Every structure is written in C-alpha cells, then in structure tokens.
Amino acid sequence: MALGIFGQMVRSELEDVVGEAFVSTDETDRLVYSTDWSWMAQMWLDRGQPLSKPDVIVHPGSPEEIADIMKIANGYRIPVVPYGGGSGTQGGALATHGGIVVDTKRLSKIIEIDEKSLKATAQAGIINEQLEWALNEKGLTFPHYPASSNCATLAGFLAARGTGTISTKYGKAEDLVMTMQVVLPNGTIIRTPAVPNHSSGPDFGRIFLGAEGTMGIITEATVQVDHIPEARYLRALLFEDLSKALEAGRRLMTRRLDPFVIRLYDAHSTASQVKRVLGYELEGSYMVVGFDGDPDIAALQERKAMAIFDELGARDLGREPGERWWNHRYDFYYPPKSLKLPWMYGTTETVTTYDKIEALYWAKKRAVEETYADHGVQYIGHFSHWYHWGVSLYDRFIIEEPPEDAEEALTLHNRVWTTAVRASFEHGGMINDHHGVGLKLGRFARMQYGPAWDLLVSLKKAIDPNGIMNPGKIGFGA
Amino acid sequence: MQIIDSTPISDNCRYCLMCRHVCPVGHVTRRESLTPHGWGLLIASVERGLIAWDEKTVDVLYACADCGTCRANCVTDQALPDAIALARQSVISAGLMPDVVADLDARLRQFGNPYGEPSSSDPVAKAADALFVGDDAKHAWSSALDAALSLLERAGVKPALIGVGRNSGYLPASLGLYETAKSIAEANLAELAATGARRLFVLSAGDYDAFARLYDERLGLALPDGVEVIEVVSFLSGAAESGRLRLRAADGLGKCAYVDPTHAVRVASRHEAPRRLLGTVVGGPPVELFWRRERAHPSGNTALQFTQPKISNHLTYSRLDDAKNVGAETVVTECSGTLAQLAKHAPKFGVRVQGLYELLAANVA
C-alpha cells in the first residue's frame, strides 16, 4: 500500500512505540483484518467485493504502548479500531473508516490466579479457551462458556457484553467481571474499583461494558472463577408444545432451582439443527437441562425439575441426549455444520420478560416468514439464556438462495433484520441479548433508547471528543 | 484418499476461527494472517481476485508450519494443511517459487534430504521388519538411531534399515514440491517393498504420519499390501508393559518434561506411550507442558526451519519457555529433528535436552 507522506510519518511514529515487527501495512494483513465474523463482511468478500481496510495494523505488547498509540491517533484524529478475536457477528471490528487497527492479542498474559478469592486476572487479549485451560490445571474454571470460547478474547466479550452456555446459573461475562484496566482515547490508563459491589458512587466501569471499543480499549480484567463442578447432570426432554416448554423453564428459574443450562429448541430447530448436528429425529421442542456442583444438591435440583417437567407433560429422553448435546455444543459452529455462505443468515436474538417472550417469538416468526415468503426464508430459534425474570430468544433467519449481487443481498439482509427487530421492540424485546450492536444494528440504537440515547452520545463525546474510537459502531457515528 | 481440490477446504476455513487458538505460528506471531483462517482467507481471496500472489503473499502462504494442529482440533476434519500445500504447488506452477524453496528442491532432488549429504544407496536386507531411518536421525541427531535399534533388539526385533539419510517426503510435500516428494516417497516405498517386511517401524510421529496418511492423502501413494506402520515408542511401551523390555530408574535428570514432537497431534493414539516410558525411568509421570497432547505445538523442526527460520526459532523458544514455566530442568523427546532444534537454543533457557531412546537404552535393566 502507498501510505503517502503523512501515512509514512504515522507509521514511523507507531514503530517507535511498538517496534518495526509489530506494525504492518502488508496487503495480506489489511485484507485479513478487513473482516470479522459478521455475515455482511464475509458475504461482501465472498462476492469478490473489497471491504474498507485498515491503513495500518499494530500489535502492542503493553497497556502503555496502547496509551502511546492512542495519543498518536488522538493527536492526528485517526480512527482506532480495537481488534480482539474478530469473532463478533455485528461488524463491530470492521475498519469502516480505515485508520489503525489495534490487535490486542499480544496482551495475553495471565497475571494472577487467586485460589482463595476465586478470581483470575489476565491481560485482555487472551483467548477465552487459553484462560480456561490454565484455570483447569488448578481445578478451576471461568464459567463463561460461549460458542466462541476458542476465538473470543477477554476484552472482546466484555466489550460486547457477551454470554455463554452456562450463563443461566453463572451470569453473563459482564456479571463475572470484577475490575478492569482501560486505556482511554486520550491515552490515560484507568482502573475500575477492585470489587464490583459497593456503594462508593456510580459504577462508571459499566460504561465500557457494551461500548464495543467506542469508549476506550480494555487491556486487563479480573474475573470471578469457580471450582470445576464435582458433578454435572444433564438430560434431554421433548415437549409437544413450545408454550409448555417455556413455562417449564420459567418455573425452574422462578423457583430458583439453579440449572446451569436450559436450552430449548423450537420445533423447526429441533427438526433441522438438532437433527443435523446431534443426529436425533424428533418432532416437537427439544430441551436440554443441566444441574451442577455438589452431587447431592444437583441431584435434588434435578429431581425437583423433573417433577415440573412431568406436570407439564414433557417426555424424558434420558441422560445420553443431554450429555451428547453438552459434548457437542460447539460443533454447531464448525463449517460445514454451521450456517455458511452462499446462504444468507442472521441471528436476530433478543431478550425480554416471561410475560412477553412467547408472544414475541410468534410475532417475530410470523413477521419474518410472511414478509419474506417469496425468498423462501426459514425462521428458527432457541431459548438459551434464562434469567429470574425472563429469557433470551436466539432466533435466526436463513435464506438459502439470496440475491447474487452483494448490494442487493445486503439490502435484503438489512430489511429482514428491520422486520425482526421491530417485532422485538413491539413486544418489549431488546436489540439483542449478547451479540452486541456493532455496525449492523447501530441504526436501531436511537429507537431502542429514545431520549436516553442523547445521554449516551454525550458520554461518548466527553470520553472521546475527537471521535476516534471505533467510528460508525453502536450508532455513535464518526 | 488424495485431496486434489482445495477450494471447499479453504472456503470452509476462511472465516472459521475455531482452531486459531491452537495454531503455533499464530501463537508466536500474533498475526491474524498467519493463522488457519488467515491462510484460508488468503487462498480464497486469490481465487476471487481480491488479492494476487506476489513475493509478499507467497511469503505469508509459506509461513504455515504444516504441523497439523488445526486439523487435529477441527470437529469437521478440514484438511487445511493439505489445502495450503496444494496452494503452494499452484504458486510454484505459476513460476513464483521462493528462492529458498528452489534451493531446497535442488538439494532434495540431489541428496534426498535438505542437509546436502547423500542418502544411503546400499541395497536393503530382507527382513520381517523394517525401520525407516530418515534424514534427521542420520544427519541432525544420530545417537537416537543406535539407541532405538538396541532397544528394539532387546524387545526381539531386528529390522532392516530403509531410507537411511533420506527424507520421508514430508518436507517437499509441505513445500508444495509434489514431484520431488513423490520421487522421494517412491524411493522409500521401493526399499520397503524390497525388504519384504510386514511391519514398518518409524522413529517419530512425523514419520508415522508420512507413511500412514500423507503418502495417501497428499501424494496418492499406497504402502505395500498388508504393511503395518508402528511407532517405535508405542512398540517399546507395549514391550515394557508385557515385560519384554525391562527398564530401571535413572538418576540426575531433575524435573523432566516430555515434549510432544512435531506432528504428534496427527497421531492421536500415541500420546501415552512416550510418557509411560519416560515415567518408568524417572520414577513418575513427567511434568506436562501447557501445549501438549492434542494441542501440542511443535518445536522448530518443520519446513519453517529452512524457509522462515525466525518463526521456526520462535516455535522452539516457545517450547523451551513452556518447559521453564512448569519448572522442568530437562526436556525429553524421541524425535531427532525436535531434539536438534531444542538443543540449539536450550542453553539460553537453562534447560537440558535428552533423547528418549538414549535415556531408555542407558537404563535397560
């Protein structure tokens, strides 16, 4: 790439900070860092269309180096895009405005594992699975098991407020974080308080959770960890009626039976996904439920749950299908088992309260299926992250024969998404539960937040007055 | 079955991030383009006209170690290393072979190995068993061969030697030099056939994978009918268990770590055998490295030691650093190529290097 005089000067400044080996303007790097795990970026390249590329990629080795990079970028008003695992599905790591991509993966050290307080401190570019392996050596686990565990970084899933398979008991990533170190756009390095629960003023650290790199770069975090549970009891059930299955999940949660997982597939997912990946041919709604921890307590919780399932007419499929699901829970995301191009697909997941969830599901299904019937759209969903008050719906649309033309395809993709998100809003749902907003859903942020959106914009302006941090994401503009 | 069309593989891998965390090259370089999905995306993007092969992009293509860790950790068994090797072959066909690869090709064609020393042309003996010696055990770390032969003899095996000083064909196959790889592999197979052996013993996981998989998948070559490939460590472990080989405890090694050799991840059933043998002589299970078993990273003895020595050295540093982090004083493995790489840099890390075969041979009861 020809950087020009200014670009070369900036590159030299960046090299002074991180060293020549850790600055790249190579075409291959620019190509690879131009995409992430979002359908729109992948489709764009698949159709032979180039994406906006970063001008330069830097690989800092310390928070101080990141601070110096920020000072350079802020001084020259150059966009900065933090890049962790690149596993975001909403285009949050796309360098839509060029600029500097800051790959955080050299910051991967585990700083401390505290076996007494059950917390681990690591640099935030560490891949989740590597942190997990290190904890497992000590009989511990970080109870954040996202499907992206192999590829998402600690900073990445905190910045996107990600969740994992066992969030129903252990919480989302944001619930597990205790403290963070963050580099602000002006290069200041700050720390949030050492403990998450106190009454010492507003919890300003929360502003960086879900900010997707628009407010600063998370460089270190301390998270709560657990002992690897002594027992994990899983089993599967089949419900003829989705309504009863949702009610079963609600009762488990509101009676605080503390399942670590409830995964409920709708009939379409059961017939397609469950069959394709697990090999079971079933009609109805397939549910996996699990209890863990002390074997006696987990067994008792499971017994109580079984009584509820029985009351609601569920068919007990036994342990094997539950354990099989657990052992293969990430297989759904390996191509060609995963949804993949040239198909069009999108995960329009959302979350709402128990009183609204069923109506929301049917309304979305109807809206998407009826509006896009001519495109042969399929709508599938599962309910996977359960709270005391409600549940997330992880729903997806699939069009197997989308338009060939990239722009036409993206337009249709956006329209389907609009239909789905509007249906969510009309039934009390959020833009989403855990995939973040990124580039894809920024246009819905103002709709979601109403007048409160201006407050968020003011905060963004106060923290990043020059608008250098990840421009164009979560609706903040450049 | 030979893989001849890499497009479905690179298309599957280009956006998949599920094995990136186990890629050793990605681990030491931290560059997205030097990871499985980076290579997949590069190949797929060339096919789509988004980028072209030139000196720099070819350099990226040649940065993959062909260690197999990605495939070993892939739920859907994507043969990305084979797809990368095929892409290298097409780059060579397009006249873009890097100079360093051309030099290696010349040496491999002339000598059958990259060391510039002629392979043995002695006629092979007839025997029920054969042992493939290869080039590393002849030219890089020769004490392993004598030790392995004495151990096999103790266990009742006297093999005919084949491929003495000759590469298995892995190196040229990794580099996309399929014609060269094929002619080297055919020479090895001709010697194997001449022995009439039904059992082919090999000294390392890489040699096992060459004969048991790579010849078929990458080169379209078959072993003589009915020949069983056996890793010497697995055989010795069985012999020790059945009492045919008796070992005693060794002194003075300090805390020992076993280093899984290059390609170990490709031979899933082999992980326990060398650990059991080492455990017998050191009096307990060896210390485990962080990157081990199915996620084992190679040391620098891949094609990268010749084509991209900087990355190769970092792979070795990373193994030694791993050993240091777990408090190991001695690192042990049986693979000659791995031993040679570790020994080159071990003094900087204050770690001793010990060949497993030599250790076992010195401690036969």
Is B51 in Cβ contact with A335 (below 8 Å)? no
pLDDT in tens, B26-43: 999 999 999 999 999 999
Determine the average pLDDT of the residues in A202-212: 96
Q: Is B70 on the interface with A (CB under 8 A)?
A: no
Instruction: At A461, list the tokens.
Output: 């302006």
Strands A140-141, A110-114: pairing is unpaired
Q: Is B310 on the interface with A (CB under 8 A)?
A: no
Determine the average pLDDT of the residues in A369-384: 97
Predicted local distance difference test score (pLDDT) of residue A477: 80
Predicted local distance difference test score (pLDDT) of residue A1: 54
Is A87 in Cβ contact with B30 (below 8 Å)? no
pLDDT in tens, B160-173: 999 999 999 999 99
Residue A151 has pLDDT above 80, yes or no: yes
Residue A394 has pLDDT above 60, yes or no: yes
Residue A92 has pLDDT above 60, yes or no: yes
Q: Is B290 on the interface with A (CB under 8 A)?
A: yes
Count helices and strands (H / E) in chain B: 18, 7
Closest residue in B to A33 (Cα–Cα): B32
Sort A71 into a burial class: Cβ within 10 Å, 0-12 / 13-18 / 19+: middle
Q: Is B31 on the interface with A (CB under 8 A)?
A: yes
Q: Show contacts of A367-373: CB within 8 Å, 24+ apart.
A: A367/A419, A367/A420, A367/A422, A367/A423, A368/A397, A368/A416, A368/A419, A368/A420, A368/A423, A371/A416, A371/A419, A372/A397, A372/A399, A372/A412, A372/A415, A372/A416, A372/A419
The interface predicted TM-score (ipTM) is 0.95
Cβ atoms of A278 and A330 closer than 8 Å: no
pLDDT in tens, A24-57: 999 999 999 999 999 999 999 999 999 999 999 9
Scanning B50-69 for CB atoms below 8 A from A yields 50-51, 56-57, 60
Contacts of A85 in chain B (CB under 8 A): 17, 20
Contacts of A33 in chain B (CB under 8 A): 32-33
Instruction: At B50, list the tokens.
Output: 């988004």
Kindly report the average pLDDT of chain A as a whole number: 96
Q: pLDDT-derived band of residue B1, with 50, 70 and 90 as boundaries?
A: confident
Helix, strand, coil percentages (3-state) for chain B, rounded to 5, are 55, 10, 40
Report angle CA A238, A239, A240 to the nearest 5 degrees: 125
Residue A304 has pLDDT above 60, yes or no: yes
Q: pLDDT-derived band of residue B4, with 50, 70 and 90 as boundaries?
A: confident
Residue A72 has pLDDT above 90, yes or no: yes
Cβ atoms of B356 and B141 closer than 8 Å: no
Predicted local distance difference test score (pLDDT) of residue A357: 98
Residue B140 has pLDDT above 70, yes or no: yes
The residue whose two tokens read 């990946």 is A277
Segments in B94-214 forming alpha helices (H): 99-111, 143-154, 170-174, 178-195, 205-209
* Shortest Cα–Cα distance, B28 to chain A (Å): 9
